[in-house]
């Protein structure tokens, strides 16, 4: 998650999905090769294999609620706290790593910033801000800080999606329990 998902996926808030970025990652990924198996062992028949491949193709370019349901089912209620603890540790490490970088960027800010004259409109204000900021020499640092802030936001949103899925599963379980209790009360 830390080496592929967080740096390479971008949040689309409209669909509540993370979409794989079209930008090339900064560090090339070293992934193990996919194990080979005979095609008839995948899903049983050639038709089932092609149906599974088309279904997998539809769900491979994004990460959203369907994937969260799968993660919750896969990990179960006993392992989810470990995942949440790992995500919180990742956020803590990112904040600790970003703190000195933010201090470095703060040093590049002008000592006093007053209200900008609006004589030149928005373009003039932007020019004044760019002239006063000395971030030109620290563009790599600025990009790294923005990437770190994006990753922290992605983890927080991901945990929000996890909460939505857990509540949905809990409500569904509650409804199933109530139906079965109602059934037994009628007997």
Residue spans of beta strands (DSSP E) within 85-156: none
Measure the N-to-C terminal CA separation of the chain; round to a whole number of Å: 50
Contacts 24+ apart (CB under 8 A), 29-33: 29/3, 29/4
User: Whose CA is closest to 162, among 92, 59, 86?
Assistant: 86
Q: What is the pLDDT of residue 165?
A: 92
The verdict on pTM exceeding 0.75 is no
Each residue's pLDDT expressed in tens, for the chain with a length of 187 residues: 777 778 888 888 888 888 888 775 555 556 666 666 565 556 677 788 788 778 777 767 788 888 889 889 999 888 999 999 999 999 999 999 999 988 887 777 666 666 666 666 777 767 766 766 666 667 788 888 888 999 999 999 999 999 999 999 888 888 777 777 766 555 5
- Specify the DSSP element, H or E, that contains 153: helix 139-186
Q: What is the pLDDT of residue 114?
A: 62
């Amino acid at each position: 998650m830390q080496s592929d998902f967080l740096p390479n996926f971008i949040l689309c808030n409209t669909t509540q999905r993370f979409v794989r970025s079209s930008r090339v990652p900064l560090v090339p990924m070293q992934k193990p090769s996919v194990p080979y198996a005979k095609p008839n062992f995948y899903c049983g028949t050639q038709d089932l294999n092609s149906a599974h491949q088309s279904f997998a193709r539809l769900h491979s370019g994004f990460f959203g609620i369907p994937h969260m349901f799968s993660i919750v089912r896969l990990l179960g209620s006993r392992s989810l706290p470990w995942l949440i603890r790992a995500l919180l540790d990742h956020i803590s490490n990112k904040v600790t790593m970003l703190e000195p970088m933010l201090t470095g960027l703060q040093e590049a800010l002008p000592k006093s910033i007053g209200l900008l004259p609006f004589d030149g409109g928005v373009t003039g204000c932007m020019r004044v801000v760019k002239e006063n900021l000395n971030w030109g020499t620290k563009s790599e640092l600025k990009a790294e800080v923005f990437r770190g802030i994006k990753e922290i936001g992605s983890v927080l949103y991901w945990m929000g999606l996890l909460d939505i899925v857990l509540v949905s599963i809990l409500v569904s379980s509650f409804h199933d329990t109530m139906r079965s209790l109602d059934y037994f009360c009628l007997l």
